[in-house]
Amino acid sequence: MILPPTPSAIQDRPHRRLNPLSGEWVLVSPHRVERPWQGKVDAVSAAPIPAYDPECYLCPGNRRASGLRNPDYRGVHVFDNDFSALLPGTEPGDLAGPPYFRQEAVRGICRVLCFSPRHDLTLSRMSLEEIRQVVELWIAQMRELMRTYRWVQIFENRGEIMGCSNPHPHGQLWASSSAPNEAAKEDVCQRRYLQERESVLLLDALEFELSQGCRVVVENSHWVALVPFWAEWPFETLVLPRRQVHRLVDLESAEQVSLADLLQRLLTRYDNLFGVPFPYTMGWHGAPNEPGDPAHWQLHAHFYPPLLRSASVKKFMVGYEMLAEPQRDITPEAAAGRLQSLADAGAGSFRKDADR
């Protein structure tokens, strides 16, 4: 295994970092953190959220937009999305057209995963047992849908700033007959790394991160959450199991319990960063469901939070980022240091203020 050099020599100057999972570069501009901010400032909602909302499409017993009524569920709950982006009945096969207008049919299914009957909770405020039930739901859904679909994308959009119009704690699942762009890029890059180095990319990266420690945010006996060296978003994190695991369905019972602990601690630190329920998009990536040895794959979860300077200032991927390559101001090391300094439980934490 060849370990990468530390970036200390160029940490304070503009430099680029390669994301080995995507093969794409990220521009880091540490000197820009001193610039005054005159851009968009989003309002932070201070309105209290009730434990039950009679107008919520996701609360137990309520009628959804489709007219169907939710059962009076008491734990986790899953149902097919009433306005699914993918449909299971689509006929397979390529659709005729010139090579520069290539298209193909895709089959799939979309589901909504309710984490709790409580309308006013977030994962960070749920108990370890409640979070463990969410982990079990992810695994059960993936195990079922892997029998039919090549890719199962489990994800959560949290907060209005991420386009989530309903605060009820929930995530989504989109299963498809084809591997989407991000999964395909990660598959190619991890496979190439194994062929060239005869080792697993994310396990080598994890070993190096643990030896350095400067980007590690939370860890326990089975899991590590860290700000990746190549992070694009200001407080982005990567969640990794310590041993090689190809897919969520391969997690052992102890690892599932340990994952609940790590998620609660990581998300509480996020909440404590700016003193608000922290918005993010998160999702799981594991080996696609296809023939062949997935030895190059390591299961991981991405957390992409948009907040930059405060609870009301968002990082936008526009201009240079859309036309050239992603760019960030605060270094991953500085972001990790901020998260490391925060409480993940107990007195003084935002989580304590939010206790039920």
d(CA 287, CA 301): 12
Q: Do residues 301 and 282 make contact, with C-beta atoms less than 8 angstroms apart?
A: yes
Residue 222 appears among annotated catalytic residues: no
Say which of 77, 119, 168, 170 is annotated catalytic.
170
d(CA 90, CA 84): 13
Write out the two tokens for 280.
Answer: 């993010």
Cα-Cα end-to-end distance for the chain? 48
Q: Is the dihedral of CA 58, 59, 65, 66 positive or negative?
A: positive
Q: Do residues 184 and 23 make contact, with C-beta atoms less than 8 angstroms apart?
A: no
d(CA 348, CA 329): 29
Q: Which residues are paired to 132 by β-bridges?
A: none
Q: Do residues 117 and 128 make contact, with C-beta atoms less than 8 angstroms apart?
A: no
DSSP string, 210-244: HHH-TTEEEE-SSEEEE--TT--STT-EEEEESS-
- ∠ CA 20-26-28, nearest 5°, is 130
Q: Which residue has tokens 């409640």?
A: 130
Catalytic residues: 170
